[in-house]
Structure 1
Amino acid sequence: MKQYTYLLVNFLAVIVCFIFSFHPKIRFDRFFVPFIKSAILVLIPFIIWDAWFTKIGVWWFNDSYLIGVRLLGLPLEEWLFFICIPFSCVFTFYCLDKFFSLEWKPQADRYFSMGAAVSCFVLCLFNTGLVYPFITFLATGISLVYLKFVSRVTWIGKVSLIYTMLLPGFFLVNGVLTGTGLEQPIVNYTTGHYMEIRIGTIPVEDAVYGYTMILWNVFFFKKFSRDRLETAALT
C-alpha cells in the first residue's frame, strides 16, 4: 500500500473539486476541454524543468512511495501532479470568480504586479549560486512582467489573492510530499541547491514555483475558454 502514497495524494487533492465540477450551479465540466488544453501546454515546460532538476540532483523521488512507472526520468505520479493540482486551483479560481467580486482596481493590480516582479528579480540576484531559487524567482519575475505588461492581463492581483487563500491546501499536499506524517519524504531536496528555508517540511521555493504554474494555467485557461466564460457569466 505504501507505494500508492503519492498516487493517493494526487487523488485526494483533486477528487472533491472534480465531483463539484458537475454541480448544476457550477458546471465546470463544461470547461474540461479548455482546462486540459491549458494544463498540457503549461505541463510541457514544467516537466522539462522538473526533469532537468531531477537529473542534476536538485531533488529526487523516494521509490518506496511510488508505483514504479517513470517517463523522462520522472514518476508517473509527478506527471499527474501537474494535472491534479492545477485542476483544483483553476476550479477554485473559477468558482470564486463566478460567485464573488474579487476584482482589483487596475492601478492596484499594476502596482502589485510590478512590486512582485521586482521582488522576484532582487531575490534572484541574491541567490545566483543556488539553482532552485535562482531559476524559480527568475521565471516568476519574467512571467509577471510578460503577463502584466506584454499580455496586459488584469487579473494577477485576483489570482494572487486566491492562491494565497489556497496556500493551506498547498501546504497540506506539499507537506505530505516533503515528509510531513511520513517516515521519509516522497520528494527529497539536495543541500546546496536551495535556500534551506522551510515552512514546516516545505522549501519556500515550492510556493513560488506553484504560484508561477497557476498563473500560466489561469492565463491559458481564460484564453481557451473565453467564449464559454462569457456565456457562463450570463447564466
Structure 2
Amino acid sequence: MQITYLLIDFFTIVICFIFSFHPKIKFYRHFGAFFLSSLLVGSVFVIWDAWFTKLGVWWFNDRYLLGLRFIGLPLEELLFFICIPFSCIFTYYCLTKFFSMDWKPKSEKIFVIISITLALLMTIYFHNKIYTVVTFFSLGLSLFVLYFLLGSRWIGTAAVIYLILLPGFVLVNGILTGTGLENPIVNYNPQNFIGIRLITIPIEDFFYGFELILWNLYFFKRFKRNDLE
C-alpha cells in the first residue's frame, strides 16, 4: 500500500516517456526545455501546496506513501509536479505537431475573456473558501497575464487538449481523492472548498490542473529549441 501514490506517478508518465523516443516524435530532444519549465513552475506550485498543507486545507494519508517528506510534502507529491505536466506537454506537443488545432483569434479572445470573468465571479462569490478563492483568482490572473500581457495565442488549443486529457485526469485524481481505495490519499478540509465533486474530485482541482499546465506550456515554449522542430 505504501507505494500506491508512487505507482500513480509512474503509470502517469511511463507510456509518454517511452514514446518520447519514437522516431516520428523525438520529444526527447526537448527534455531540457521541459525540465526547466517544470522546475520553474513546479517551485511555485510546491510553495502553494506546502502552504495549504500547513494550513490544513488538505493533507496526505501516510498509509499510501513511502514516508519521505520535504518541506512538509511527500516525495510522491513533488514528483506529481513533474509527471502530470510531462504527460500533458507531451500530448500537446504530439497533437499540435500532427494536427492543426489553432483557434480563430476572435473565438480565442472571447473564450479567454469569458473564462477570466467566470473565474473572478467564482472568487467573489466563494470568498470564504480559501481553496476556491486562490484557485480561481490565480487562474483568472494567469489567463489575463498570458493572453493580454505575454501574447500567448495557444490558450484555446491548450483548453481543447486539456479536455481530451480529462479522462486520464479523472482516473489519476480520482484515485488520489479516494476512488477505488478504502481511504483517500489526499484529503480535503470541507470548510475550504465549495464541496462540489466529480466522483471524488473537488471541482477546484480541474482548474488548478489547467493553470498548472498553462504555465508549464508557456515556459516550455520559451525554452524549447525551435531549430530542432
Q: Equivalences for 1:1-235 in 2 at 5 Å?
A: 2-228=1-227, 231-232=228-229
Following the alignment from structure 1 to structure 2, what is the Cα–Cα distance between the partners of residues 163 and 100?
Answer: 15
Question: Which moves more between the two structures, 128-137 or 103-112?
Answer: 103-112
Deviation at 1:158, TM superposition (A): 0.3
Following the alignment from structure 1 to structure 2, what is the Cα–Cα distance between the partners of residues 13 and 216?
Answer: 19
- Cα offsets for 1:109-143 (capped at 9, x unmatched): 11111111111001110110000000000000000
Identity %: 54
Q: TM-score, normalised to structure 1's length?
A: 0.96
Following the alignment from structure 1 to structure 2, what is the Cα–Cα distance between the partners of residues 101 and 224?
Answer: 22
Amino acid at match of 2:218: F
Q: How many residues align?
A: 229
Q: Is the 8 A contact 2:178 2:200 kept in 1?
A: yes
Following the alignment from structure 2 to structure 1, what is the Cα–Cα distance between the partners of residues 105 and 36?
Answer: 28
Q: Which runs of 4+ in 1 moved over 3 A?
A: none
Following the alignment from structure 2 to structure 1, what is the Cα–Cα distance between the partners of residues 151 and 108?
Answer: 11
- The secondary structure found in structure 1 opposite 2:191 is coil
Following the alignment from structure 1 to structure 2, what is the Cα–Cα distance between the partners of residues 207 and 43?
Answer: 17
Following the alignment from structure 2 to structure 1, what is the Cα–Cα distance between the partners of residues 47 and 150?
Answer: 24
5+ unaligned residues in a row in structure 2: which ranges?
none
Following the alignment from structure 2 to structure 1, what is the Cα–Cα distance between the partners of residues 90 and 20?
Answer: 8
Amino acid at match of 1:27: K
- The secondary structure found in structure 2 opposite 1:195 is coil
Deviation at 1:43, TM superposition (A): 0.5
* 1:155–1:134 distance in 2 versus 1, CA, 3 Å: same
Deviation at 1:191, TM superposition (A): 1.5
Following the alignment from structure 1 to structure 2, what is the Cα–Cα distance between the partners of residues 71 and 204?
Answer: 27
Amino acid at match of 1:170: F
Following the alignment from structure 1 to structure 2, what is the Cα–Cα distance between the partners of residues 206 and 226?
Answer: 32
* 1:226–1:111 distance in 2 versus 1, CA, 3 Å: farther
- The secondary structure found in structure 2 opposite 1:82 is helix
- The secondary structure found in structure 2 opposite 1:3 is coil
Q: TM-score, normalised to structure 2's length?
A: 0.99
Following the alignment from structure 2 to structure 1, what is the Cα–Cα distance between the partners of residues 81 and 109?
Answer: 28
5+ unaligned residues in a row in structure 1: which ranges?
none
Deviation at 1:226, TM superposition (A): 4.8
- Cα offsets for 1:173-215 (capped at 9, x unmatched): 0000000111100000012001110000000000000000000
